[in-house]
Amino acid sequence: MENIAAVVLAAGKGTRMKSGIVKVLHPAAGRPMITWPVDAARLAGAAPIVLVVGHQANAVSNTFRGADDILCAMQEEQLGTGHAVACAKGALQGFNGTVLILCGDTPLLRGETLRELIAFHRGQEAVLTVLTARMDDPHGYGRVVRDQSGQVLAIVEQKDATPEQQAITEINSGIYCMESDFLFSNISSISSNNAQNEFYLTDLLSIAVNKGLTCLARCIADADEIMGVNDRGQLAMASTILRQRINHELMCSGVSMIDPGHTYIDHGVAIGPDTIIHPNCTIGGNTVIGSNCTIEGSVTIDSCQIGNDCHIKAGSVLESSELQDDVTVGPMAHLRSGTVLQDHVKIGNFVETKKAVMGKGSKASHLTYLGDAEIGSDVNIGCGTITCNYDGVKKHRTVIGDNVFIGSDVQLVAPVTVGSNSLVAAGTTVTKNVPQDSLAIARVPQVNKEGWRLKKK
């Protein structure tokens, strides 16, 4: 397909969202709602894509900053869908071809549906084709009135429909395919002579019918695709459907999910085959998970790179971290931004890391904080150990060499270095560097006062 452009209507505020954020920027399955119809237009071959912006115009346009195929047109006042499309006319100056008109609040729309719409539109040599669906309960939607040959005669809004027209179950999605010469030569003819004093895009249909031009409707099987999001309840419904699609694709690629209905994976997450995801997991951002991993229940993973054969145990939280192969984390561990765990590392329960690099085979099995630390290979970190990385003004690093044994309840007061093959005794507070091959002990000698308890009585 060639010579396809798209106009995406995204100027409205969305008052029913009850939000300080414009409606089309609310996230659906991990990304702003407007990115879904834009991607659908791209998959259909549209370029350029014109965003008609109004409320929070800069924020909407910045969502696509750097995208060569995106243009923006300003709609200062929101005076209806016809007025919005008219605002895009200048951005498409000189374009000659087929124009898709989409809504920025329809995140369920698929690119393949738009490709089929364009092929049908062009194959029938129509000037205007509207995307429609059939609903068991069409209440509130505009009804599509056809003649006996299937051509569209009118789109009648619910409040204006006769009882016979209200019985029609085919409804208007607000998504159109039009030829540019017809669209832009007639868009200025639309009148605002109606109860709302707005310019309605559906009036173009009446203009085309009166001119004897071919107007068609393409009815899709899945009415969910044209669902518009107007409030947070509908946003939740749309996000649920998007995640069902994501989960289905992942399972088809070899990922196992114990309970897909309670597994929350955002768009853009990649997971390898033979990985098992347990219920109540939330995985988002640009996360990549390798093959043959196990992600136990109630785990949260955001923007992490996870290798093969890893095991993330229940209740753990991972943020912007890198795990290489055969790494075990948790349960109830917290990996904060900047954590790097090399092959065969073990992070146990109630361990927190931040900007910590752990070498191959090292482990911190429980109740430990490792922040701003560089830890070598085959290091054992005992229970209750902490790196004291903050002096109240600045953060400082702790460096631990290879084959070091850190006993329980050790405090490493940074900046400090522990040399390779050293041992730090339990209860030690390390305030100065430890040479390699050394034993470091810094604690008060034990004093036993015999009979003291009897004297107290």
CA dihedral angle for residue 163, residue 167, residue 170, residue 173, rounded to 10 degrees:
50
CB 29 within 8 A of CB 250: no
Give the end-to-end CA distance of the chain in Å, rounded to a whole number.
Answer: 96
Query: Is 78 annotated as contributing to ligand binding?
Result: no
Residues 6+ apart with CB under 8 A from 353: 321, 333, 334, 335, 336, 339, 347, 364, 369, 370, 371, 373
Query: Is 81 annotated as contributing to ligand binding?
Result: yes
Query: Is 390 annotated as contributing to ligand binding?
Result: yes
Query: Is 197 annotated as contributing to ligand binding?
Result: no
267 as an active site residue: the answer is no
Report residue 348 as tokens. 């146990």
Query: Is 408 annotated as contributing to ligand binding?
Result: yes
CB 224 within 8 A of CB 137: no
Query: Is 230 annotated as contributing to ligand binding?
Result: yes
Query: Is 58 annotated as contributing to ligand binding?
Result: no
Query: Is 336 annotated as contributing to ligand binding?
Result: yes
Query: Is 166 annotated as contributing to ligand binding?
Result: no
Residues counted in the chain: 457
Select which of 121, 334, 366, 396 is catalytic. 366
Query: Is 176 annotated as contributing to ligand binding?
Result: no
3 state SS of 296: coil
Q: H/E element holding 82?
A: helix 81-87
Q: How far apart are CA 112 and CA 44, in angstroms?
A: 7
Query: Is 192 annotated as contributing to ligand binding?
Result: no
Query: Is 201 annotated as contributing to ligand binding?
Result: no
Query: Is 86 annotated as contributing to ligand binding?
Result: no
How much of the chain is in helix, strand and coil states, percent to nearest 5?
20, 30, 45
Q: How far apart are CA 173 and CA 176, in angstroms?
A: 8
Query: Is 157 annotated as contributing to ligand binding?
Result: yes
Binding site as annotated, residues for acetyl-CoA: 389-390, 408, 426, 443
Please list the active-site residues: 366
Per the annotation, binding residues for Mg(2+) are 105, 230
| Binding site members for UDP-N-acetyl-alpha-D-glucosamine | 9-12, 23, 75, 80-81, 142, 157, 172, 230, 336, 354, 369, 380
Residue list for the binding site: 9-12, 23, 75, 80-81, 105, 142, 157, 172, 230, 336, 354, 369, 380, 389-390, 408, 426, 443
